[in-house]
Amino acid sequence: MADTDNSLVKRLKEALGTSYSVEGEIGRGGMGVVYHARDERLKRQVAIKVLPPELAFREDIRTRFLREAETAARLSHPHIVPIHSVGEGPDGLVYFVMAYVDGEPLGAKLKRRGQLPTEEARRIMQETSDALAAAHALGIVHRDVKPDNILLEGSRGRVVVTDFGIAKALSSTTGGATLTGTGVAIGTPHYMSPEQAAGDREIDGRSDLYSLGVVTYQMLTAELPFSAPTVPGILMKQITEAAPMVTDRRPDCPEDLAACVMRCLEKEPEARWPTAEALRRALESRSAQMWHPRCRGVYRLLVSPWR
């Protein structure tokens, strides 16, 4: 493993030339390896994400990855990590350079803290919704909303969402499957929408809202709504099983916040929030209500245009 890592760093340095100085690894996952680096020309800290070598050799995936990164680079929003540039080395190495976020992933915070205060969970959900609304307005669906892709910057923990479009880049050649031929996850089963779990090729922003509902459920209860010993078991539950009510596991959760989460977790996209912007506004106004805490899928909103 060490030899492989050293080889990847060497290849990356060769591709970057003197423009960037690689300073160390930040993290890694199925979607790639992230390095901390310095932009020598602009004198700023950056993060560089490299496509996994076992995928980069496939020209179809490499082309899609570059195209999706270029699309995501159009996003300019306070709650989205900006992409500065994308590129590839002469040996086929593919990478993109993005802003360095001085903070921690939400996933790390949840491992350390367990459940979060309800108002902190509301704020994180609201700021993430704001980011998703901006992306969806440009036709960009994240497809892999999960705690590790929600970064918390500074002492306040301002949300900055990363990795837009990467799941689409990798899933485009796998027919919407959960795993590629090399075993790299496309999306994350615990956070997948039912339509993703079923392998639907056409999904829209409401899939991201389902995933955000799972993330917020976890923030509020320190538990995932669905778990199983196998990936197929988790996917089947995502498709068929109703999530337990948030208030059953977190009785002090405000009713409107619980309603926002449970509506995100509806199995049918048409029953969820119509847009991320509608969800953001409901969270801000605290106006979402459920007819009855045990009636799944029946909601009343105090401001009718948001239905």
CB 290 within 8 A of CB 301: no
Beta bridge partners of 153: 103, 158
Helices (H), the chain: 2-16, 53-56, 59-72, 106-113, 118-137, 166-171, 194-197, 205-221, 231-240, 246-249, 255-264, 276-285
The 10 Å Cβ neighbour count of residue 244 is: 15
Residue given tokens 């029953």 in the structure block: 271
CB 86 within 8 A of CB 73: yes
Phi, psi of 172, rounded to the nearest 5 degrees:
-60, -25
The separation between CA 143 and the C-alpha centre of its own chain, rounded to angstroms, equals: 7
Residue given tokens 């301002």 in the structure block: 158
> Does the active-site annotation cover 144?
yes
Among 144, 148, 208, 256, the active-site one is 144
The residues annotated as belonging to the active site are: 144
